[in-house]
Structure 1
Amino acid sequence: MKHTDVSETFAVSAQLESGDMQQIAEAGFSTVICNRPDGEEPGQPTVSAVREAAEAAGIAFHHIPVSGGEFPEVAIKAFAKVREEADGKVLAFCRTGTRSITFDALANIENATADERIGRARRAGYDLTSLRARLGE
């Protein structure tokens, strides 16, 4: 299970498998957020299978799927709520990690500036400069 730390309490990852959940728990993550809809591509594990494995490993599991580059306000608020209420480290995943890091930037639970959020994403290996206008100041 490879992930990229974004902050002390948040990390992103490409697609996770059910078999990754015990290792994720051992790495100190208490919450996993899946940002992929079911059936996005062949061979992708089902959300229910990953949820079952996460819960068996003692990890809280949340499904906040988005696709097509759309990040509706209701989904951003749901993501922010999970991050704010999580008891420990949060790992969010999607196909490549880009949707998950985008959610983090849009939710902005740390009240960081747009430049700080873009810089944090860049350090994690993601380019969010195209979101600058949506991120505000």
Structure 2
Amino acid sequence: MSNLPPMVHLTDDFSAAPQVSAEHMAALAAAGYRTVICNRPDAEVAPGEQAADIEAAARAAGLDFAVVEVTHDGITPETIAAQRRALTDLPGPHFGYCRAGFRSSVIWALAMAGDRPTPEIMAALARAGFAAPGLEQRIEALAAER
């Protein structure tokens, strides 16, 4: 599966990666992924890498697709809820992408608050190479709300 994009595996059900292309979709489907989640706003990408382009290729490869834009303005409760819905309502394993994989990983972590133990979430981020020192308290607060 040489056409798989570079990615980090946070769990058996979620991996994150930098921006993907339409050409990656068949390889993702062949690798067993069932849903692709775009966490990158269209304003950040070139023509041909817009969410609609990736979605068309994903659907052609038999994958479900969701757009949950994570902007640099911060992650809102609505964004977390939308990511949570995508992870719960659409079949896994899930594959998320953004510019570098970091936003997809962080929004996954926040969406998993209360479903997975916080130390497990933080360990998954650390294994992926993403240091997010202030995130643990936010995950705990979200978990307490659920």
User: How high is the TM-score relative to the length of structure 1?
Assistant: 0.91
Distance in 1 (CA, whole Å) between partners of 2:48 and 2:137 is 33
Unaligned runs of 5+ in 2: 142-146
Matching of residue 104 in structure 1 with residue 108 in structure 2: yes
Q: Are 1:50 and 2:90 an aligned pair? A: no
Aligned twin of 2:140 = 136
Q: In the alignment, which residue of structure 2 is the partner of 1:2?
A: 6
Distance 2:120 2:130 in 1: 13
Deviating above 6 A after TM superposition, structure 1's stretches of 4 or more consecutive aligned residues are none
Runs of 5+ unmatched residues, structure 1: none
Q: Which residue of 1 aligns with 2:98?
A: 94
Instruction: Please give the TM-score of this superposition, normalised by the length of structure 2.
Output: 0.85
Determine the C-alpha separation between the residues in 2 that align with 1:134 and 1:109. Answer: 9
Give yes or no for the alignment of 1:35 onto 2:47: no
CA contact (8 A) 2:113 2:139 kept: no
Asked whether the 8 Å contact 1:84–1:109 carries over to 2, the reply is: no
Which of the numbers 112, 117, 122 marks the counterpart of 1:118?
122
Question: Is the contact between residue 19 and residue 97 of structure 2 (CA under 8 Å) also seen in structure 1?
Answer: yes
Could you give the per-residue CA deviations for residues 2-47 of structure 1, whole angstroms, max 9, x where no partner exists?
2211111111111110110000100100000000110214567111
Question: What is the alpha-carbon root mean square deviation over aligned residues?
Answer: 1.8
Sequence identity of aligned pairs in percent? Answer: 28
Letter in 1 for 2:66: H
In structure 1, what is the equivalent of residue 69 of structure 2?
65
Aligned length: 137
Q: Partner amino acid for 1:58?
A: G
Letter in 2 for 1:45: E
